[in-house]
Structure formats: C-alpha cells, structure tokens
Amino acid sequence: MGAGELLTGLNEAQQATVRHHGTPLLILAGAGSGKTRVITYKIAYLLQELGYHPREILAVTFTNKAAREMKERAVGLCPEASEVMIRTFHSFGAWLLRRFAEDAGLSRSFTIYDDDDMVSLLRGIYPEEQRSALRRVARRISRAKDLCLDPEDDLSPIGFDPRFGAMYGAYTRRLNEIGNVDFGDLILRPISLLGARGGSGGPLSVGGLIRSRFRAVLVDEYQDSNRAQYQLLKTLVGPDTYICVVGDDDQSIYRFRGAEVGNILSFPDSFPGAEIHRLEQNYRSTAPILAVADAVVARNTGRLGKTLFTTRTDGPLPRLVLLPDHEAEAEFCRTLLAREPSAAAETAILYRTNAQSRVFETTFARAGIAYRIVGSLRFYDREEIKDAIAYLKLFANPADEVAFRRIINKPSRGLGAVSVDRIFSALEDGAAEHGYDLIAATEAAASGLSRKASAAARGFVQAYRELGAGLAGGLLNEFVAQVFERFGLVAYHVEQDEDTGLGKRENLEEFLSAASMYPATPEGLVELLENLELDSGREQEASSDARNAVTLITMHNTKGLEFDRVIITGLEDGLFPRSDDDQEELEEERRLFYVAVTRARNEVYFTSCRSRMVNGRTLELYPSRFLQEIPEDLVDIDEQQVQRKRTRFGDARQGSGRMAYRTAGHDAHQGSRHAAEAEAEAEARFPAFSAVYHDEYGSGMVAKVWWSGSHEMVLVRFETGRELQFVAEYSGLERISSDSF
C-alpha cells in the first residue's frame, strides 16, 4: 500500500496529522473526530512510509480495551504492527520492571497490589485502625504516588494529617520487604529506573537503552495523564524521540485519580517546538446532539477551546423525560426497549454511579430484556476469584502477606487470629535466616501452636510444597485445579453459594479455563496473575441473549465507545453533578456530561427523577443544573408532560426563557401532590378495576392507582397471576372493555 492509498478515506486535517513528523505533536481531537483512526494510521505510516521498525514504536493508552482495539486496527492496516508495543501506562511499567527487575531491585516474579490489597496491607501494619480510615490512607498514598511524592517529601499537597507521612513510610517499607508493587509503583519505579545511570543496559543505562529503542512514542487520552505519567513520558523521550500525544481537554474526567488537565494545556511548554493540530470534524453525532454537549461544556473556563462541526445536520432533538422516581426511570427504559427490541444492541443506558445499575437489572430481568453490564462487579473482584488469586500469588511470592492473610484460614482449617499472630512473630524472628518467607514462618511457628492449629499449619506447608513442585511443565490449569482441590476451594465456595445464590462454581471454572492459556511454570503463573491484575476483563454477560443486549454502563466507562442511542439517566442535582460547590469538580462533571452526550450517534434521552433511593433512604431531588444550562430550544421535553403541565398548572414555560424546564421540572416534580391530587385522580386514564391489555403480559386488571408527582402510577394484576407496576404513560397498557374479564 503506497502513501496515497494508505491515506485515502482520511480528511485533510487527519492526513496532515498522520504525515506529521519531527517536532513534538499535540493532537487536539474532539469527540468522534476519528482520534483512534488517526493514531492507528500514524502507526501504519511510521512503519510503511518512514521505515520505522515495529520494535521502535511505543503506543500508550489508558485502558486495556483501548490498547487491544488500537492493536487490532493497526494490524488491519499493516500486519507488521503486531510487533509494535501497545500497552497501558501501567502494563508498560510492569513490562519494564520485569524486564529490568534486577536494576529495579525487584524479583522478576513480583505481583501487583490493587487498592483493596493496599488496605489489607495497611491493616496488617495497623490492626487497631478502622478500615474506613485505612481506606482513606490508601487513597492518599495513591494520590501521593500520582504526584511523584515519596514518604519523606513534603506531603502537604495531600492534606494535613500529621500521621500520614509515617504511615506512608511504614507502608512503603513493608511493601519493599514483601517485594511486590502497587499500581502507583508501576509508574514511579520506572521513572527512577529510566532516570538512573548505569545498570544492565550494558554500555548504556537502562534509560539510554530504552530511549534508543523507542524512537517514536504515541500517547492516547493524554488529558487523563497524571503528574507521574507525565514524568515517565519525560524520561522516555530523548532528544531524538518523536513524541505525539492525542487528547481532548474537554474529556478529562479522571481528576479524582490524579489526572491533570494541565498536562495537555502545557504540552507546548513541556516539549519545546511542539506543534498543535486540531481535529474538529465530528463523524459520529448529529448536530442537535453536539449542540447540547457543547452548550454545557462551553460554560467551563480554562479550555483550549474548539468547535466541532458535522455534516449530519438533521436528527431529532435530545429528549428530556421527567419521572417520579428511579423505578419509573427503569420502567421508561424498559418500555423504550420493548418498543423496538432490535435496537437494544445499539442502545446504552448511562449512569453516574454503579449503584444505579441495580434497578435496571431487576426491571430488565423481570421483563426478559437482555442486558450487558460493563464494569461494576469485575470478575477479578469476586470473592472466590480473589481467593483463587491469593492462593496463586502465594506461589508466585511466598512473602505475599496480603495473600497469605486472606487464605491461611479460608476455608477454615483452625488457624485463627492467635495462630496467625504467632506465625507473624516467627516471620520477624526468622527474617534474617529465611528472608521474608511466610511458608517457612508457618513451619517454624507450627510447633508452638495448639495441637489442632499445629497440625493444620504443617498440613498447609506440606500441601504448598508438594503443589509447588507441580510448576514444572504442562498447562497451568492443571496446576490451578490441583491447588483448588488440595485446599478445598471449590467445595468451600459451592457450599457458600447455596444460600448466597449465583455461579461461584462457574466463576472458578471460568478461572480454570483462563489459566489453560498459560504454561505451568513460574513464569506462566506470573503472567496469568499480571493479566488478571491489570486487565480484569471487565465485562459480564448477565443474561443469556447477549447479542441483542442493551448496555448498562457508567459514564466514565463509556469513554471511547459509541452507540446509536444513549439514555443518560439520573440527571438530578446531587447525583449528576454530584456537587456544585467546588468549581473544579463541577467543571469535571460538565466534561463528563460532554463525554456522555457525545457517545450518541443518533438519539439522546435524558431522564430526571423527582425522588430516588440512595443508601436505603428516599431522597427528594431537583433536576440537574446541567439541564438549565441547555438553551430550551435544543431539547424536547416529553410532550405528554408539557400537556399535562399546561392543563394543570397553566403554561409551565411562562416567563422562563432558559429556565424553561427548571420551572417545568419543579412544577412537575413538586407541585402536584397536594392541590392537584383530587384533580389528578379525576383524569386518571386507568381507573382502579378497569380492564387493561399489555402486549407482553396479556390482559389484566388495574388493582391500584396512585399519583407520584405528576405521574399516574398503576399496579396491574395480570391473568397470569403476575403483578406489575407501571407509569401509566409509558406502560404500553390499553384499556379494554371490561366484559372480557
């Protein structure tokens, strides 16, 4: 494929960007402007036209999904791209640390601690502290690492807790003794590794070696990089490295994780001579959708600023639906999906918090609507999987205190808190002799334990040693199966599952089959663990018919995805935006709104509830301030609603201007319960005891009618015996003559 051929199908701006070479390049790519396309073409262009060897190119993303997709698409353009290193920042860091383990002061078989593991480790050091307090400390340690701060540095940017420095220090020492790393270390340790002189890079330092290998470095979603990642990038880029970053300051949504929009804003200062290219043509959404997204994000200050345009000028206005509560919201979505089942696969329901997914799950499960949840409970987060991983981690690293504490008495084998304490004393005593080895410590402590505990400890050590000898070839699933069997893990969880409910056995089986992709060697084991730790394969098919399933997803998780139709739920102050008293935070929520809206190709719905159950309490809520920030002519308010309001409250839009549905929302949301109650009853279209018919559920009788806000709610008892609750307007119910009943 010649250059001309490679670049056909790209617009002029995209072509210029793909061709650019030499100076540092910042690509400001608006939503839907073909960002991934440009990067993948750029990789192909470097390989085909500029003669780069695949090993000389490094492309960094923020999610594994993005990395996989980029790889796939690049290989589609140019097969050589399969050898290009395309990884997340964290996985690149892990690769580097294993590759140069000795220089980094690590064993090649270190494993990676996630946020929960950090808390558990702290718990081992500070058993008397509250778990919630330790969680806060863990979060702060992560923030410190995002900012490249060591325990002895000035930690005031993190907050004012006088004990924090000491706790961070103790945590760091313990983690070093164990020989594992946390997520932050995957960025921090490479910075010092690459910055250091000498080492096993031969005549070159490790940094020199890496800088001479990667002649081109590409970074995706640069607006989400934090200070540590920026530093890592700096150490990767030498005078001859071609550096190109892509991002959109309006889509920076990971501030809470340390992301600094400042990185993208100041790129030209950090990398002198940088050029800026803009990609502003949106190929995804219709103009009405972009108008709404822009209206809100335009209120942010400190933007680089850009104007998206599209040739898709036609399309329905985004639609706002006001609802009484979260159940009605789920019911509204159900009805929408039932009306056109084939569109479900291209529909996504977006929410701000994972907890919001629950109503949708139960509603859809009841209605037999297939759904797919992205995120929420990750495979790796399940109890039984964490247990399985903990056993395996202990084989990778016998010093892994967190893994050890988790499984030493699970299933319970009579080694309780007292015995575990003794084992840890033995660990301290024997550290000089055996190093940090919990198996050796358990063996050493066994004689000093009660009779039952002593036998259990010896049995555990023996099982560990015999099983460990099995890491000598074959496939890893055989080894894992033996571990499960010998330690009684499957039996334990199957028994637990009897009252808890679902699929632990299946999950463990799935785990086994994942393990079959690796060799039964120490290296294979470490590789499996790393893949689980860094890429938890976070997608679960929650109901059988996955092909036509609707997607349930947090707004954060949608980044990089697109759908024909997007329903953005929970547009209520306090939920989205979560709070508006911190300006920075409010601006981040606006960017999240922008991300959410721009996922849609053709249709956008907003739903806003008057009340919602949060943490077991029902809260009264106001419509999101974002709804006020949209000029009224850019959104359709549910027509039936407006009708209703006009008749009941006069013209809801009077004297409102921009505030139209703020007013409307308040009327609809608040006005009706007292004065309007009687009137509302009078205009009920499904009086109690009337006969009704529903396409899916057949005929039935209205058992109960009530008003929730301005909404008529009905409880219908169907002939099948089923009782279901509906918002009358969205129910799809028809009244039928009562003699059929």
Partner DNA sequence: GTCAGAAGGTTTTTT
Partner DNA sequence: ACCTTCTGAC
Catalytic residue positions? 35-36, 220-221, 251, 599
| Residue 414 binds DNA, judged by CB under 7 A | yes
Among 405, 434, 556, 625, binds DNA (CB under 7 A): 556
Nearer to DNA, 281 or 536 (CB): 536
Q: How far is the CB of 304 from DNA (least distance, A)?
A: 22
Query: How far is 555 from 375, CA to CA, in rounded Å?
Result: 11
Among 15, 88, 252, 551, binds DNA (CB under 7 A): 88
Among 415, 423, 444, 525, binds DNA (CB under 7 A): 415
| Residue 365 binds DNA, judged by CB under 7 A | no
Tokens of 347: 């529909």
Query: How far is 609 from 572, CA to CA, in rounded Å?
Result: 7
- Residue pair 704/688 in contact by the 8 Å Cβ criterion: yes
Among 256, 309, 689, 741, binds DNA (CB under 7 A): 256
Query: Which amino acid would we find at residue 441?
Result: A
Q: Phi and psi dihedrals of 126, rounded to 5?
A: -120, 70
| Beta-ladder partners of 475 | 519
| Residue 413 binds DNA, judged by CB under 7 A | yes
Q: How far is the CB of 554 from DNA (least distance, A)?
A: 4
| Residue 132 binds DNA, judged by CB under 7 A | yes
Query: How far is 118 from 629, CA to CA, in rounded Å?
Result: 41
Q: Measured between alpha carbons, how far is residue 564 from residues 289, 334, 345, 349 in Å? A: 12, 17, 9, 12
Nearer to DNA, 132 or 737 (CB): 132
Nearer to DNA, 139 or 653 (CB): 139
| Residue 416 binds DNA, judged by CB under 7 A | yes
Among 417, 432, 502, 682, binds DNA (CB under 7 A): 417
Angle at which helices 522-534 and 476-487 cross, to 10°? 80
Its sign, for the CA torsion 186, 187, 190, 192, is negative
Among 254, 487, 594, 661, binds DNA (CB under 7 A): 254
| Residue 352 binds DNA, judged by CB under 7 A | yes
What are the b/e assignments for 562-594, b being 16+ CB within 10 Å? bbebbbbbbbbbebbbeeeeeeeebbbbbbbbb
Which residues fall within 8 angstroms of residue 679, CB to CB, at 6 or more apart?
Answer: 648
| Residue 615 binds DNA, judged by CB under 7 A | yes
Nearer to DNA, 98 or 645 (CB): 98
17-25, 215-223, 475-483, 608-616 -> range binding DNA (CB under 7 A):
608-616
Applying the rule CB under 7 A, the residues between 693 and 722 that interact with DNA are none
Among 15, 36, 48, 142, binds DNA (CB under 7 A): 142
| Residue 459 binds DNA, judged by CB under 7 A | no
| Residue 135 binds DNA, judged by CB under 7 A | yes
CA neighbor of 381 nearest in space, from 258, 533, 180: 533
| Residue 489 binds DNA, judged by CB under 7 A | no
- The label of the residue with tokens 């809100």 reads 296
Among 2, 616, 657, 721, binds DNA (CB under 7 A): 616
130-138, 148-156, 300-308, 338-346 -> range binding DNA (CB under 7 A):
130-138
| Residue 361 binds DNA, judged by CB under 7 A | no
Q: How many residues bind DNA (CB under 7 A)?
A: 48
Applying the rule CB under 7 A, the residues between 517 and 546 that interact with DNA are 534, 536, 538
Q: How far is the CB of 677 from DNA (least distance, A)?
A: 26
Q: Measured between alpha carbons, how far is residue 735 from residues 483, 698, 703, 728, 732 in Å? A: 61, 12, 13, 11, 10
Among 33, 231, 557, 607, binds DNA (CB under 7 A): 557
Nearer to DNA, 601 or 612 (CB): 612
Nearer to DNA, 135 or 666 (CB): 135
Query: How far is 92 from 89, CA to CA, in rounded Å?
Result: 5
Tokens of 76: 């589609």
| Residue 458 binds DNA, judged by CB under 7 A | no
Nearer to DNA, 481 or 715 (CB): 715
- CB-side exposure of 345: number of CA atoms within 13 Å? 5
Which residues fall within 8 angstroms of residue 21, CB to CB, at 6 or more apart?
Answer: 46, 50, 242
Q: Measured between alpha carbons, how far is residue 285 from residues 282, 314, 560, 592 in Å? A: 7, 10, 14, 17
| Residue 115 binds DNA, judged by CB under 7 A | yes
| Residue 354 binds DNA, judged by CB under 7 A | yes
Query: How far is 212 from 215, CA to CA, in rounded Å?
Result: 6
Tokens of 101: 């383990």
DSSP 612: E
| Residue 360 binds DNA, judged by CB under 7 A | no
Q: How far is the CB of 416 from DNA (least distance, A)?
A: 3
- Cα-trace Rg, the chain: 29
Q: How far is the CB of 659 from DNA (least distance, A)?
A: 26
| Residue 501 binds DNA, judged by CB under 7 A | no
- Residue pair 534/527 in contact by the 8 Å Cβ criterion: no
- Find the largest Cα–Cα distance for the chain: 94
- Residue pair 54/211 in contact by the 8 Å Cβ criterion: no
* DSSP result, 435-481: -S-HHHHHHHHHTTS-HHHHHHHHHHHHHHHHHHTT-SSSBHHHHHH
| Residue 648 binds DNA, judged by CB under 7 A | no
Applying the rule CB under 7 A, the residues between 56 and 85 that interact with DNA are 62-64
Among 176, 409, 425, 521, binds DNA (CB under 7 A): 409
> Where does this chain bind DNA (CB under 7 A)?
62-64, 88-91, 114-115, 130-132, 135, 142, 183, 253-254, 256-257, 352-355, 358, 375, 409, 412-419, 450, 452-453, 534, 536, 538, 554, 556-557, 578, 585, 613, 615-616
